Amino acid sequence: MKYIKNRDKLVQMIEGYRGLFDFIRIVDPKAKKALTIGEDGMIYGDVDCYSFWKTNEMCVDCIAKRAIKEKNTLVKIQYDMERMYILFATPVMIDGKILAKELIKDVTNDLIFETIDKEHEHEVRNIIQDINSLLILDSLTNLYNRRYINQMLPVELERNSDYTKHISIAMVDIDGFKKINDTYGHYAGDMVLKNFSDTMTKYIRNDRDWIARYGGDEFLICLHNVDSKEAEKILERLRKAIEDMTVEVENKVIKVTASFGLITVKDTGLKPDELIKLADNKLYEAKKQGRNRVVS
């Protein structure tokens, strides 16, 4: 990244952003490096990308990485203990490599946050984190939500478009969840959902796989580059862990089980909603066969 063959084209491409943004960077999230495009058209630096934010640590939610993964422009609000910024990240191809173009605007003087003192920095950080998380996280389980499924499942399918990698999708449902709510109350039901979600996240690779709450007590698990045989093993371990799980609410012990419907594909012939429908059909078979099982 120290030198870019098509630098002139890159500079021309970003020229329209002059005056609108205070900083323009090219970020390689894998190498964790960033280059800054100066007003003179020169490319400066080769520094740690996160050093700009003065935290000396990687961002919890790297917008450059997500923009490249999702092949989309994403927006984030960032606070570096002194200033407030709005950040746009867009994938860009440079010298045959996909990187992220970051457009950064200092908006401190345009927001009420300019009057916040050191005593409230932690509160501001929490507010910003809430803003960035609100659209993609389920507030009860802290898993991803339906919006995230709609955004990411098409991306996952496209990532497997070379016909060499599998993608396994599982629809998961808590057996008899309505009865839990009716018997113990909705607070107990919420506790079951939280414990259920926490248990599931222990059995996936959090750096590449993900789980989202599809709705109610139904969840979607996405396993990247995992074939059907390996996916069945993962889900079976997960099913057993849920079966062994106990939830204590007001001196009452609640036991639950779950049913899983699994579908594995190796191409992009199916649309996301078609893939979900197939997994949901397998889930229905699991319920029909007696529940507390994995059907593929």
In a domain, 150, yes or no: yes
219 in the same domain as 126: no
pLDDT in tens, 58-90: 776 788 888 888 888 888 888 776 777 888 888
* Per-chain mean pLDDT for the chain: 82
Which of 165, 152, 155, 163 is CA-nearest to residue 220?
Answer: 152
CA distances to 24, 34, 100, 103 from 18, rounded to whole Å, are 9, 19, 18, 10
How open is the CA angle 62-66-156, to the nearest 5 degrees? 145
pLDDT tier for residue 191 given thresholds of 50, 70 and 90:
very high
Domain at 225, CATH number: 3.30.70.270
Residues 68 and 105 in one domain: yes
Average pLDDT over residues 115-125: 53
> Is 50 exceeded by the pLDDT of residue 114?
no
158, 243: one domain: yes
Residue 141 within a domain: no
SS3 content of the chain, % helix, strand, coil (to 5): 40, 30, 30
0.75 exceeded by pTM:
no
Q: What CATH number corresponds to the domain at position 85? A: 3.30.450
Q: End of a domain among 89, 114, 134? A: 134
Contact status, residue 80 vs residue 54, Cβ threshold 8 Å: yes
Question: What pLDDT digit, counting tens, does each position of 226-269 carry?
Answer: 999 999 999 999 999 999 999 998 888 999 999 999 999 987 67
Residues 207 and 171 in one domain: yes
Amino acid (one-letter) located at 196 = F
In a domain, 176, yes or no: yes
Inter-residue contact 100 to 64 (CB < 8 Å): yes
Domain shared by 255 and 203, yes or no: yes
Q: How many domains does the chain have?
A: 2
Any domain includes 87: yes
Same domain, 155 and 259: yes
Instruction: Examine the domain organization and report whether 32 and 116 are in the same domain.
Output: yes
CA distance 266 to 15: 41
Domain range for 26 is 7-134
Is 125 a domain residue? yes
Say yes or no: 159 and 113 in one domain: no
3-class secondary structure, 22? coil
Q: Is residue 140 part of a domain?
A: no
pLDDT category at 113 given cuts 50, 70, 90 is very low
Phi, psi of 31 (to 5 degrees): -80, -10
Statement to judge: residues 73 and 158 lie in one domain: no
In a domain? residue 204: yes
pLDDT digits 0-9 by tens, 168-179: 999 999 999 999
Q: Environment class of residue 139 by beta-carbon count within 10 Å: exposed (0-12), middle (13-18) or buried (19+)? A: exposed
Residue 199's SS3 state is helix
In this structure, is residue 166 part of a structural domain? yes
